[in-house]
Amino acid sequence: MSRLLITGASLQGERTADVLVVDGTIAEIGAGLDASGAEVVDADGLVALPGLVDLHTHLREPGREDAETVLSGSRAAAVGGYTAVLAMANTNPVTDTAEAAERVWSLGQAAGVVDVHPVGSVTKGLAGEELSEIGLMARSKARVRVFSDDGRCVGNARVMRRALEYVKAFGGVISQHSQDTDLAGSTSCCHEGELSGRLGLPGWPGVAEDVIVARDVMLARHTGSRVHVAHVSTAGSVEVVRWAKSQGIAVTAEVTPHHLLLTTDLLAGYDPTFKVNPPLRPAEDVEALRGALADGTIDAVATDHAPHARHDKEHAFVDAAFGMLGLETAVQVVAQVMVESGLMGWADVARVMSTTPAAIAGLDGQGQGLVVGAPANLTLVDPSADVTVDRADSVSLSRNNPYHGRTFGAAVRATFLRGRATVLDGKLV
């Protein structure tokens, strides 16, 4: 019998208590618990959260193991406080069959650092034309419940409708990368606005996102199925999601840490580290996203962790790959933007980064909260840290970290997967 005692933790920032874990399950919560035979972790001054769940991670394996692998990405996730991640389907080959989904799931099982749940593609080869093996993936060992062509939008309304109808039968959800390609254009690389014009960079307008969100919530209402809006980045999309929820439409939405903090002004230096899809937006969009996360219009924070090898990023801005790292810094960004500002408390962080993402993805063993009988998936955060990000310290194989040189006031100190420490004192075990 294994025993772990976490002492003096602030449970979601609300009350201080000890947490006793026996054989991977939370057995008791209270003051002065018996430490006999237990490994003791002193959590004085630390906030205990349920293990974080990321709805949107790119692990790159198979196909781009030079940028990330399931193992390296899992380690980066654990350092960031995560105990479960959903691996996006835009690998090579694409996760569009049961066999491909089971391969990613098996790689996650072998790594054993976090629970890795593959996301299945909506269409074969991400081509947007023919549905992938949705039913077979759902019935596979991987038990796929989230489907997305992320990186590309399911632009054909008929295909999107059929996908929504298909997943309804087993409670699945379609996660949409909302980007009207006709409005966005094929060469655009940033937000369309005064700055893009001054820099001579082709941009795409926020409405290219808004119109797809509007279409998809209407399709969700028509089908009675669930749609999830990935990486919301505009005030217009927030308005659509808020309206849809008021109508009882089954829509959920996520926002990335970088869209909560970074603005399009960072493009002035032409640094391709800040090239991301959807693009960084103006301050007014960022403020709308923060408010929507605080009031529940946006349900979850998801990293859209997108590692890239140096040779894919070190180009002129227009030619560089889209994407930035996010797993190792998500808690730090959310703490600064939402907690330190007073917009949210730590219990809210637990909701948007653990319990709600787990519920959206249908993960039975994750996001159950800090309660007796729940799996001991736990994260300990120092809310008074003083940490300056250095890209050289990244656990990820890639170094496209947009927060290099920034100082944050929070840091993950420990992560436990079913009672087993994966991170202690901020370092991998």
β-sheet bridge partners, residue 415: 379, 423
Q: Please report which confidence band the pLDDT of residue 417 belongs to, taking 50, 70 and 90 as the band edges.
A: very high
- 8 A C-beta contact, residue 254 and residue 334: no
The residues annotated with a catalytic role in the active site are: 304
Cα–chain center distance at 154? 20
Write the pLDDT tens digit of every residue in 291-312: 999 999 999 999 999 999 999 9
Q: How far apart are CA 245 and CA 74, in angstroms?
A: 33
Q: How far apart are CA 17 and CA 123, in angstroms?
A: 48
Tell me, what's the pLDDT at 44? 98
Pairing of strands 173-176, 146-147: parallel
Name the amino acid, one letter, at 184.
A
Write the pLDDT tens digit of every residue in 310-352: 999 999 999 999 999 999 999 999 999 999 999 999 999 999 9
Task: At 286, give phi and psi (nearest 5°).
Answer: -60, -45
Q: Please report which confidence band the pLDDT of residue 1 belongs to, taking 50, 70 and 90 as the band edges.
A: confident
Q: Which domains does the chain have, with CATH numbers?
A: 3-47+375-428 (2.30.40.10), 50-361 (3.20.20.140)
Please check the confidence at residue 241 and state whether its pLDDT lies above 90.
Answer: yes
Please check the confidence at residue 406 and state whether its pLDDT lies above 90.
Answer: yes
Give the chain's radius of gyration (CA, Å): 21
Distances (CA, A) of 319 to 45, 169, 271, 309, 392: 46, 42, 12, 14, 24
Q: What is the average per-residue pLDDT within 192-213? A: 98
pTM of the model: 0.98
Would you state the structure tokens that stand for residue 422, as one six-digit string?
């994966």
